[in-house]
Amino acid sequence: MRRSLFLAILLACGLAHSAAAATLRVAVAISLKEALTQIAQNYQVDTGDHVVLTCGASGQLATQIKNDAPVDVFISAASKQVDDLAQDHLIDPATRAIVARNTLVLVVPAGAPAAPVSFATLDAPTITKLAIGDPQSVPAGAYAIQVLTALKIADRLGGRLVYGANVRQVLTYVEMGAVSAGIVYATDALQSADKVKVVATAPPGTHQPIVYPGAVLATSKQRERAGRFLTYLGTDKSRKILAARGFIVEAPAAGTDPSTAPAK
């Protein structure tokens, strides 16, 4: 009798846990794909909630959200896309927080015979094709244009620029040797350390801070659960995963965004 009662309680608890579980839909910049996949798996184990990731260029994801895509949490690779959604009242501003930071680097195919030594030398004749993300929808591409403009070489590279639909496509172009060099995040270069070589880091002050702001969508039907997932990204367990993937996690307190703060 006691055994039957115990099994009945276990079954009831299992059903209750299943009924209480939810599916969260998270749209995330593709450069965070591997880290967020691992964190989402941990979150499901810890909470029972399932997380479905949609990874892509931040601009494309923001457009999908504006077109009523069912999303609970959005994590961009730049503040602009979150700002745009905020202007349309599509995010809950109280939930906005920095998830991580990143660095912009110049990469070349591993073993490239005539590699540039810095961003400033990208206008050399040996650099026939330079891959960057489409600056209209890919934050890494927008950061790249900022660097090239600051170094006063953007105008001289117009015919050599090859645009990728997202930062991972840029990385693929470099891996294949289809371009002389590419501008990607340091975390992407780390993903492909055996196929590409980092030759330079973008000079300080040549681009806006690379931050990953996240926010709960105002249209989410489970905003409380979505908020808990966003908070989970700031736990030590999640931060260790981000750091192991090369992201900078010494971020400001939740709710602050250095890329939108007034200059001092």
pTM of the model: 0.84
Quick one: 94 exposed, middle or buried, by C-beta within 10 A (0-12, 13-18, 19+)?
exposed
DSSP assignment of 205-228 equals TSS---EEEEEEBTT-S-HHHHHH
Other beta carbons within 10 angstroms of residue 204's beta carbon come to 6
Strands 196-201 and 161-164: unpaired
pLDDT digits over 86-103, tens only?
A: 999 999 999 999 999 999
The candidate with the shortest Cα–Cα distance to 70, out of 34, 25, 37, 109, is: 25
All CATH 3.40.190.10 domain ranges of the chain, comma separated, are 22-101+210-257, 104-201
Those residues of the chain that have pLDDT short of 70 are 1-20, 250-264
Strands 73-75 and 211-216: antiparallel
- Answer yes or no: CATH 3.40.190.10 is held by domain 22-101+210-257: yes
pLDDT value of position 20: 67
pLDDT digits over 159-206, tens only?
A: 999 999 999 999 999 999 999 999 999 999 998 989 999 999 999 999
- Answer yes or no: CATH 3.40.190.10 is held by domain 104-201: yes
Other beta carbons within 10 angstroms of residue 1's beta carbon come to 5
**CA dist., res. 1 & res. 91, Å (int):** 53
Residue 168, H or E segment? helix 167-176
